[in-house]
Structure 1
């Protein structure tokens, strides 16, 4: 029986990795779930664990608010004991937790898997783009969501260990849709008609921290 360590740290990772974590828990392996605490509101994270019906992490850390480079360094230091005996380390996506887990696995000579590999914006001013590229270059197993993602990896000479598997967020959606339909009160609470409204979300500091930028985005929409 091998030891698998899955590292997550943000709310999107909780959502997207919930189906993967549940599947890994069913295997005949010692599966350790580690939460880096990259998102600062741990109470809000608990809501996502509850709503996704996901078990609590085996290891829970807190990063507090730090610059990105310190988030990576602190995560590597805190998580090192959990990964040093792993047969496989799994990271997801493009966060500081992702690149910290990937670097740690390589430094400890552990096998590394990257879920959501090969996604590219082709904009290297984005921190996430650097994190994706670094994680992909170091990974032994690369789980690409689409054939386009696989093509992106080939163009970077990453061809070994690549598997096109679809996007786990779709699994999360299908698994949780019946729960959402049963529990949601948004229609009655806001006086909405089914299929008669749109949900629009914004994120990234450069979009939401500037009133002018946010106004331009809303005007464009």
Structure 2
């Protein structure tokens, strides 16, 4: 079986890495499976892209389509045009996409248009919020996918409700957690840890990038000030997303316990998370990682496509109203955060299950 693997944006790399390693293990056992790695170039910043290939032991892509920048429509079109040429020059049996970024949807459409089957890793997750570009990407991708690899029974139920047959759904677990568990021994303290004299459980990590939180300067300012002024002076580390940095620079925020740092690589960022008192975020993937690491997580969103991180894990959804943060921060500081557990099959073996399924499809 010949497979094209698609990676385009930072979250993709963490999901692709264990699948590549599982394919390589299968090849060593004499299995008939090979892959071609296509990087769409959706994220082209060094910290958002190339670093991850090195840190996660992913081979250099066979091709980089260099489709970074532009509006949603421009980027989707650029990826589709470039990937169609790539696929026609290098035909395969299956195109495997991961997650919910623009590259996921665009490459799925192209593959189906040229009659190549599509497998979607992380299929079936839903926020039911059509203002999120990612939700549209998920829905479109799953509407044309042939093989659905899922992270939870909730995702399975979403697919069944949309008419997907049971035979096409494979509950395999979470490849993000495969990568996390594989790399915990390799986590690396960033220089800021010693520079600021940070101590375990004595600081917070914050990440913000979603339009609802960062596109309006005053809203972003109110959010940040509410956080830094209500954590008993604990240091708040803010690895700032390029999207957020442009807006933040005009806000004039002054706070002695707020530390703006550049985006970090996977190993350094997760070192900070693993040793933090809590994480405040609007990311989806981080809520999965904090759940497995047992770190309290406060999510600044009105909905989530990963409800198991709340019902089972350490995550709490508080919305985007800054005032809603106050009771949650008080709960955290008073040591009353829930303990949390780990969802089924988030055990580091998801990629092995995926490759086993793929081999059985032949």
TM-score over 0.5 for the alignment?
A: yes
2:56 aligns to what?
52
Match of residue 156, structure 2, among 150, 154, 161: 150
Q: 2:49 is paired with a residue of what secondary structure?
A: helix
1:166 matches 2:173: yes
Distance 1:192 1:4 in 2: 45
Match of residue 65, structure 1, among 56, 65, 69: 69
Q: Is the CA contact (8 Å cut-off) linking 2:23 and 2:34 kept in structure 1? A: no
1:83 aligns to what?
87
Distance 2:193 2:130 in 1: 41
Distance 1:216 1:151 in 2: 38
Distance 1:216 1:141 in 2: 44
1:127 aligns to what?
133
- What pairs up with 1:110-121 in 2 under 5 angstroms? 110-121=116-127
Q: Which of these two proteins has the greater Rg computed from alpha carbons?
A: 2
Unaligned runs of 5+ in 2: 27-31, 227-321, 326-362
* Higher mean C-alpha deviation, range 202-211 or range 96-105: 202-211
Unaligned runs of 5+ in 1: none
The RMSD of aligned alpha carbons is: 1.8
1:206 matches 2:212: yes
Distance 2:133 2:190 in 1: 35
Distance 2:218 2:44 in 1: 26
Q: TM-score, normalised by structure 1?
A: 0.91
Q: TM-score, normalised by structure 2?
A: 0.57
* Higher mean C-alpha deviation, range 163-172 or range 64-73: 64-73
Q: Is the CA contact (8 Å cut-off) linking 1:83 and 1:89 kept in structure 2? A: no
Count of residue pairs the alignment pairs up: 219
CA displacement at 1:43 relative to structure 2? 6.5
1:74 matches 2:85: no
Q: Is the CA contact (8 Å cut-off) linking 2:40 and 2:67 kept in structure 1? A: yes
